[in-house]
Structure 1
Amino acid sequence: MHKKVAVILSGCGVYDGSEIYESVITLLRLDQRGAEVQCFAPNVMQLHVVDHYSGDEMPESRNVLVESARIARGNIKDVREAKVEDFDALILPGGFGAAKNLSDFAISGAQCTVQPDVLAFAQAFAQAGKPIGLICIAPALAAKIYGPGVICTIGTDHETAATLAQMGAQHEECEVSDIIEDKQRKLVTTPAYMLAKSISEAASGINKLVDRVLELTVN
């Protein structure tokens, strides 16, 4: 029986949404492993819009769900429609959207909050003992999902790791090609573009994360 995996996106583009390479690598690996995937995103406005050519903020507004649909080729749903009982696992790619749209970590740091619909869905997986994979900066949500003591990684960035520790997470340094697993909580994390210098480097850890998340699903 195919494993069913929910993937939460946060827009389209590294600076204001989902990191596109991380998202596509995740979706590709899931497909290669025979998983059935449904993408979700919160139906909210982005924090802001960034011109990915110049790096400048743009004087316009965009919707996270609508922008995420670009990556999902239109096959995406409002996360409010998501039900934990329909899935075996959950994965969140990174990109600044995880810290700007799925949460306000980029603004509020250790005092951040997570978008309520995203938080409720992720916490339902945690409470059900179903595995979750968090990629790149997405582990910033780990302590909000699981509470104090959760083990995760964002790589080797000491400043960000210190902020996660303030939130109650236990950070472990990790190379780009590896994963950190909190065995008790069935949480798998990998640094991806927190460290990656190329798409191949990002893929090396993401593929391991996807494989391990699928292994952790209950038969």
Structure 2
Amino acid sequence: MDLFVTCMMSSVAGQVVGGDSSDRQEYKLSPGAQPSDPNGRAPLHNKSAPTKPAPAIMAKRVAVILSGCGVYDGTEIHEASAVLVHLSRAGAKVQMFAPDADQMHVVNHCEGKPTEEKRNVLQESARIARGEVTDLAKLNVSDFDAAIIPGGFGVAKNLSDWAVKNKDCTIQPQLEKIIKMFHQAGKPLGMCCISPILAAKILPGCELTVGQDKECKMWPYAQTADAVKEMGCKHVNKDVEEAHVDVKNKLVTTCAFMCNAPFHKVFDGVGVMVQETLKLA
């Protein structure tokens, strides 16, 4: 019994006693081991790697480019609102821009006829932006991860002269430069309704949709698809609740009110466009 107690005490001290001194074998405690561990092993919790905090997810910075206020001479208001709601829901940081220039003309939206009135694109866009809109000339591409352009006839009248020249149109110079810079930087562009014609003009060979290419009551602007094809781009038929993603050019398009669809379907289609644009950012 005395020998057993002696061996146990010697083991705790780091030695095994038995025979003469030449037979003794020493055991050193592992770093962090407790004397109560007869095998000299470190506790398991000391082997655990320190927990690293999860990396912060940066909010996407998106420039939304407007062309006035009102479907017939500016930005289509419901499309702009849909874009802003979906961006807000996705946690994006948004800044709105518009050119500081006169509109092509002002349209009486009750009658659908031009008036003699003069209005400024930037000032009209401020109605949608709740006053928070910046001159397009101040847009710095390096400050943003993506750009989105809602539709409306303002795209065809104020951001270009498509309404007059169709496929032979020219693009507002500042906007043309900005679109090219986003594309060259590999940053995605989202466009809806008539605004994809901007990409068709600036990015030859790109893929896009303005809805369907067969005109009918549901698709009154289907001839736009033919013009896109004549400009050397690929048109992809899509329904109003869908979007087309041109991965190569990082271009996301949806038809919106190029289709005579219910508001909620246009809203949903714009949402798909926004989501796919943010995925590429």
**1:176 and 1:196 in contact (8 A); partners too:** no
Return 5+ residue gaps in structure 2 as ranges: 1-57, 214-221
Tell me which residue corresponds to 1:36.
93
User: Equivalent of 1:134, from 191, 194, 200?
Assistant: 191
Tell me which residue corresponds to 2:16.
none
Q: TM-score, normalised by structure 2?
A: 0.75
Give matches, 1:108-187, under 5 Å: 108-146=165-203, 148-157=204-213, 158-187=222-251
Distance across 1 between alignment mates of 2:241 and 2:76 = 17
Give matches, 1:58-97, under 5 Å: 58-97=115-154
Residues 1:193 and 2:257 aligned together: yes
Distance across 1 between alignment mates of 2:265 and 2:121 = 27
Distance across 1 between alignment mates of 2:158 and 2:233 = 21
**2:240 and 2:261 in contact (8 A); partners too:** no
**1:126 and 1:145 in contact (8 A); partners too:** no
Distance across 2 between alignment mates of 1:182 and 1:70 = 32
Instruction: Note the C-alpha offset of 1:166.
Output: 1.7
- My pick for the range that moved more, 148-157 or 26-35, is 148-157
Instruction: Note the C-alpha offset of 1:197.
Output: 2.0
Return 5+ residue gaps in structure 1 as ranges: none
Q: Give the match's secondary structure for 2:109.
A: coil
Identity %: 50
Q: Pick the structure with greater CA Rg.
A: 2
Distance across 2 between alignment mates of 1:145 and 1:92 = 14
The amino acid of 2:185's aligned partner reads A
Which of structures 1 and 2 has the larger relative contact order (alpha carbons within 8 angstroms, sep 6+)? 1
Moved over 4 A (4+): none
Distance across 2 between alignment mates of 1:99 and 1:165 = 18
Task: Tell me how large the CA RMSD over aligned residues is.
Answer: 0.9
Q: Give the match's secondary structure for 1:178.
A: coil
Distance across 2 between alignment mates of 1:54 and 1:111 = 29
The count of aligned residue pairs is 216
Instruction: Note the C-alpha offset of 1:196.
Output: 4.1
Distance across 1 between alignment mates of 2:116 and 2:133 = 26
**1:84 and 1:124 in contact (8 A); partners too:** yes
Q: Give the match's secondary structure for 2:245.
A: strand
Instruction: Note the C-alpha offset of 1:208.
Output: 0.5
**1:193 and 1:202 in contact (8 A); partners too:** yes
**1:41 and 1:68 in contact (8 A); partners too:** yes
Distance across 1 between alignment mates of 2:223 and 2:201 = 19
Q: Please list the CA deviations of residues 100-137 of structure 1 after superposition, one character each: whole Å capped at 9, or x if unmatched.
A: 11011111011000000111111110010100001000
Distance across 1 between alignment mates of 2:64 and 2:169 = 22
